[in-house]
A and B are shown apart, each in its own frame.
Chain A
Amino acid sequence: MRKGIVQLVAIGIVLGVLVTLVAVLFQWLPTSASKEFDRIQDIYWFATVISIVIFSLVGAVVVYSVWKWRVPLDDDLDGPPIHGHTGLEIAWTAVPAILVIALGIVSAVVLSENGQASSNALQVKAIGQQFAWRFEYPDYGDFQTGELVLPVDQQAQFTMEAVDVIHSFWVPNFGQKMDAVPGIETTILVTPDRTGAFAVVCTELCGLGHATMRAKARVVTQAEFDAWIAEQKA
Chain B
Amino acid sequence: MTATQHSHDVHQYPAHFEPPHGSTWKLLFGPGLVRGAWMAAVGFVLGMLLVLVLRAWWSWDPAWNTEVILVVGGMVFAPLGFLAGIGSFDYWLYYISGRPTRPEDHSGHGAHSWKDYFRVNTDHKVIGIQYLVTTFVFFTVGGLMAMFFRAELAQPGLQFVDSQTFNGLVSVHATLMIFLFIIPAFAGLANFAVPLMLGAPDMAFPRLNALSFWLLPIAGIMFIASFLAPGGAFGAGWTGYAPLAEGQPLGQTFFNMGVQWAGASSIMTALNFLVTIITMRAPGMTFWRMPLLVWANFTTSLLVVIATPFIAGSQFFVMFDRIMHTSFFTPEGGGYVLGYQHIFWFYSHPAVYIMMLPGFGIVSEVISSMSRKPIFGYRLMALSLLGILVLGFSVWAHHMFVAGMADWLRVPMMITTLLIAIPTGIKVFSWVATLWRGRIHLTTPMLFALGFVTMFVIGGLSGIYLGSVPIDIAASDTYFIVAHIHYVLFGGSVFTIFAGVYYWFPKMTGRMYDERLGKWHFWLTFVSFNATFFPMHYIGLRGMPRRVFDYESAFGDMNFVISIASFVLGASFIVFVYNIVTSWVRGPIADANPWRARTLEWQVSSPPPIFNFDEIPQVVGGPYEYGVPGARHAVMNPAKEAQEVHA
Residues of A within 8 A of B471 (CB): 40, 43-44, 47, 107
Decide: A203 and B626 in contact? CB cutoff 8 A: no
Expressed in whole angstroms, the minimum distance between the Cβ of B515 and any Cβ of chain A is 8
Decide: B432 and A61 in contact? CB cutoff 8 A: yes
Decide: A211 and B163 in contact? CB cutoff 8 A: yes
Q: How many residues of B contact A (CB 8 A)?
A: 90
Decide: B473 and A54 in contact? CB cutoff 8 A: no
Expressed in whole angstroms, the minimum distance between the Cβ of B536 and any Cβ of chain A is 12
Expressed in whole angstroms, the minimum distance between the Cβ of A115 and any Cβ of chain B is 8
**Cα distance A181–B247 in the bound complex, in angstroms:** 15
**Cα distance A176–B476 in the bound complex, in angstroms:** 10
Decide: B376 and A62 in contact? CB cutoff 8 A: no
Q: How many CB-defined contacts (below 8 Å) exist between A and B?
A: 268
**Cα distance A40–B465 in the bound complex, in angstroms:** 11
Interface size class of A (residues with CB under 8 A): 35 or more
Interface string of B429-446 (1 = CB under 8 A from A): 110110111111111000
Interface string of A65-88 (1 = CB under 8 A from B): 110011101011111111111001
Interface positions of B from 392 to 426, Cβ below 8 Å from A: 402-404, 407, 410-411, 414-415, 418-419, 421-422, 425-426
* Residue B458 CB within 8 A of the other chain: yes
Expressed in whole angstroms, the minimum distance between the Cβ of B466 and any Cβ of chain A is 10
* Residue A18 CB within 8 A of the other chain: no
Residues of B within 8 A of A178 (CB): 402, 404, 473
**Cα distance A39–B474 in the bound complex, in angstroms:** 12
Interface positions of B from 572 to 629, Cβ below 8 Å from A: 596, 625-628
Residues of B within 8 A of A97 (CB): 419, 422
Looking at A73, A92, A97, A160, which has the most chain B CB atoms within 10 Å of its CB? A92
Residues of B within 8 A of A168 (CB): 402, 477
Given the known interface contacts A40-B473, A79-B627, the answer about A202 and B461 at a Cβ–Cβ threshold of 8 Å is no
Interface positions of A from 168 to 210, Cβ below 8 Å from B: 168, 170, 172, 175-184, 186, 199, 201-210
Residues of A within 8 A of B235 (CB): 208
Residues of A within 8 A of B476 (CB): 177, 203
Residues of B within 8 A of A226 (CB): none
**Cα distance A103–B471 in the bound complex, in angstroms:** 11
Expressed in whole angstroms, the minimum distance between the Cβ of B168 and any Cβ of chain A is 11
Decide: A65 and B440 in contact? CB cutoff 8 A: yes
* Residue B127 CB within 8 A of the other chain: no
Q: What 6 pairs across the A-B complex have the smallest Cβ distances?
A: A183-B331, A172-B543, A186-B404, A211-B548, A78-B627, A203-B477
Contact residues of B with A, CB < 8 Å? 163-164, 167, 235-237, 241, 243-244, 247, 331, 335-338, 371-374, 376-380, 402-404, 407, 410-411, 414-415, 418-419, 421-422, 425-426, 428-430, 432-433, 435-443, 450, 453-454, 457-458, 461, 464-465, 467-471, 473-474, 476-478, 515, 537-538, 541-543, 545-552, 596, 625-628, 631
